[in-house]
Amino acid sequence: MNLQNIGVIGAGTMGNGIAQVCALAGLHVTLIDISESALQKAIATVDKNLDRQVAKNTLTHEQKLAALDKIRTSTDYNSLQNVQMVIEAATENLDLKLRVLQQIAAQVSAECVIASNTSSLSITQLAASVSQPERFIGLHFFNPVPVMGLIEVIRGLQTSDATHAMALDMATILGKTAITAGNRPGFVVNRILVPMINEAILVFQEGLASAEDIDAGMRLGCNQPIGPLALADLIGLDTVLAILEAFYDGFNDSKYRPAPLLKEMVAAGYLGRKTGRGFHAYA
């Protein structure tokens, strides 16, 4: 399939990042969200991100304008009728994603590939909610999408070889590296990463070290570019908690039990960078 038209559902951090890299790769993007204000904010974010690239001389002003011109926004799922692939990037909530996927399937052609940017939910379960589940796949992008070079491609039990091949082609078009994972909670990267973050939270909860020292220890002692608590703040503590709860339920194993402090911070609304307060404070 000559991939030219992409739909992206959700104009938040992940959705606008996916829209940006697709547009820069020359794909026509239809970005959908439930509100015009969210869509306007997304386009403003993309514009600002592209301006940074222009300032760094990694992009020309003309290339920036061409990319912006390839993104159209809508609150109407009917706008998806001519796309060849839709990437769902809604909040990491099973019920919400199932509703969104059913809305997508009602509008796109039977040949359209449907992908989810889930970081922890079952691709097999999500696929079962749409017609022709063999065309369903997981495409897990990483935050920030324009910077991170990886896409996890996750096959569900129903995913066809043709759908998998198209997902790999998509990653190549975007200039990303793809790794293929099976359908288990957390797939590969989060299966390893999120329990490490949870352990760092437990260390902080026990008063063993400060947040600054925990992060410095992992940056300087393990050569990580960002400490685990700062990374949790970047991801969003609510998202970290949702992933851990999916692990705990999916594996039925106590080693994935979320740290009590993480649950308390989420309940308090201390979600990290997006709220200005997490394990660190943000202006």
The predicted structure's pLDDT at residue 126: 97
24, pLDDT greater than 70: yes
1, pLDDT greater than 80: no
Mean pLDDT, range 123-135, rounded to an integer: 96
60, pLDDT greater than 80: yes
Quick one: pLDDT band at residue 91, thresholds 50, 70, 90?
A: confident
116, pLDDT greater than 90: yes
The predicted structure's pLDDT at residue 120: 80
| Residue 179 φ then ψ, to 5° | -120, 145
Helix (H) or strand (E) holding 54: helix 36-55
Residues 6+ apart with CB under 8 A from 34: 75
DSSP 232-253: HHHH-HHHHHHHHHHHHHHH--
- What's this model's pTM, rounded to 2 decimal places? 0.88
Quick one: pLDDT band at residue 135, thresholds 50, 70, 90?
A: very high
Q: Which among 177, 204, 202 has a CA at the least distance from the CA of 259? A: 202
DSSP bridge pairs for 88 = 9, 116
82, pLDDT greater than 80: yes
DSSP3 helix / strand / coil % (the chain, rounded to 5): 50, 15, 35
In order of 11, 159, 176, 244, 283, the CA distances from 113 in angstroms are 20, 10, 19, 28, 41
The predicted structure's pLDDT at residue 143: 86
Dihedral, CA of residue 45, residue 106, residue 167 and residue 90, to nearest 10: 40
The predicted structure's pLDDT at residue 23: 98
Which residues are known to be catalytic?
119, 140, 152, 190
